[in-house]
Amino acid sequence: MDSGDTAYVLISAALVMFMIPGLALFYGGMVRAKNVLATVVQSMFSLGLVSVLWVLGVYSLAFGPDFHHLIGTLQFAGLNHLGQTTALAPTIPAFAFVVFQLFFAAITPALITGAFAERMKFSAYALFTTLWLICIYAPLAHWIWAPGGWLHNLGALDFAGGTVVHINAGIAGLAGAIILGKRHGLGKKSFTPHNLPLTILGAGMLWFGWFGFNAGSALSSGGLAANAFLTTNTAAGAAMLGWVFVDYLKYGRTTTLGAVSGAVAGLVAITPAAGFVGPLASIAIGLAAGIGCAYAVNLKVRRGYDDALDVVGVHAVGGIIGALLVGVFAEKGINPAGANGLLAGGGLGLLGKQALAVSVTLAFSFSGSWLLLKLVEHLVGLRVTHDEEQKGLDHSLHQEAGYMFSE
């Protein structure tokens, strides 16, 4: 084991954990004031819930010994029989890899909450997150990241979670937005974000933590980590420029929400590619994500679903853009574990594998999430009542208030 690599991965894990309160603030600022606490606590509760479930058995399902290329066995349940190291990261202790992946698993269901913000019961969210982590996240992580997983064996590439995290969360959010329906009064009342400085602070925390998310996925401190760090930052900047440009074309002005949404879209898109492409390619990926996602967020208006905080438009679409562009820009010279994309002389082979991984993720996550949401609806109900929604979830569900201006 290497002490430098171990320190690097543990620090990266802490950065990924820091993204979860960042996401809480990012989402919390975009909802109405009466729902800020209910929105923030969903992200923080995911951190607590998944921390326990991951150790009990979900890590083993995701990264345990392969069972027919579909899922891991429960050999590592309770983190027993894990050993000191893992073949996935031989220079660091096995527990360092476990905790690094834990925070990936914790932030993914938290991302989904933005699609159905301001209208889901807390009990329903807790049950859905538990079932979804076991039935959707763990198998998909095994397919793509674990030795023996069928998409991993096929050669599909996902450096840090474009499919496993972002497309997976985005399309699950679409299922949730459709099943729960629109917020009462949407299109008739004002649904303006109540605290954009809070959202901007959250975006900054996400950008900062994303270096652990992407560069940490090198699982060692070296040239590959430095490449992923640089491409992550560059793509975020390029995507911000792309989204701001679209805002200017559409409205004749720039918006602060558009600028930070663009940065997040770029971070999403570079996630599957950060360790396989160079800096110039990251600019192209970032611009494509910033422009593409800026237009994609309007799909909810044309298609009639209420994706409250643009999870589908940013995470699903941004993840798709990034995953597919890996097949265009990837260079084996940057990462010998990867493959050459179209522009590096690799032909259409890798692009086809990326397209298959994207399609499988979309189909599996949407259909599986739909079934789980219907099950939760049958067991505990999904949506708060009309009166509870009108009063605000902070008061209705938690008997608290996000802001107290008088005693």
Read out DSSP for 121-159?
Answer: -HHHHHHHHHHHIIIIIHHHHHHHHSTT-HHHHHT---S
- The CATH code for residues 3-398 is 1.10.3430.10
- Tell me the pLDDT band of 405, cut-offs 50, 70 and 90: confident
Integer Cα distance of 129 and 136 in angstroms: 10
Is the pLDDT at 407 greater than 70, yes or no? no
pLDDT at 406: 65
Please give the pLDDT value at position 220. 96
Contact criterion met (CB below 8 Å) for 258 and 196: no
Selection from 204, 210, 202 nearest residue 235 by Cα: 210
The 10 Å CB-count burial string (b at 16+, else e) for 22-42 is bbbbbbbbbbbbbbbbbbbbb
Strand segments, DSSP code E, in 222-266 are none
Return the structure tokens found at 379. 């067991």
Instruction: Convert the pLDDT of each residue in 260-278 to its tens digit.
Output: 999 999 999 999 999 999 9
pLDDT digits (tens, 9 = 90+) for 297-312: 999 989 999 999 999 9
Longest dimension (CA), the chain: 68
| HSE-up (13 A, CA, CB side) for residue 393 | 22
Structure tokens at 344: 């590096």
What letter would DSSP give residue 85? Answer: E
How many of the other CB atoms lie within 10 Å of CB of 106? Answer: 26
Neighbouring CB atoms inside 10 A of 84's CB total: 8
Euclidean distance between CA atoms 87 and 64, whole angstroms: 11
pTM: 0.96
* Residue 395 binned pLDDT confidence (cut-offs 50, 70, 90): very high
* Residues 26, 75: Cα–Cα separation, whole Å: 38
User: Which H or E element spans position 273?
Assistant: none
Task: Check pLDDT > 80 for residue 283.
Answer: yes
pLDDT higher than threshold 70 for residue 142:
yes
CB-CB contact of 209 with 236 (8 Å): no
Q: What is the pLDDT of residue 83?
A: 82
Q: What is the 3-state secondary structure (H, E, C) of 285-315?
A: HHHHHHHHHHHHCCHHHHHCCCCCCCHHHHH
Q: What is the predicted pLDDT for the residue at 188?
A: 86
**Taking a C-beta distance cutoff of 8 angstroms, is the pair 330, 277 a contact?**
yes
Is residue 353 helix, strand or coil? helix
Give the per-residue pLDDT at 21: 98
CA distance 142 to 152: 8
pLDDT score recorded for residue 165 = 98
405 CB neighbour count, 10 Å cutoff: 5
Percentages of the chain per state (helix, strand, coil), in multiples of 5: 70, 5, 25
Structure tokens at 86: 């893992």
Distance CA 152, CA 6 (A): 25
Q: Which SS3 state, helix, strand or coil, does residue 91 take?
A: strand
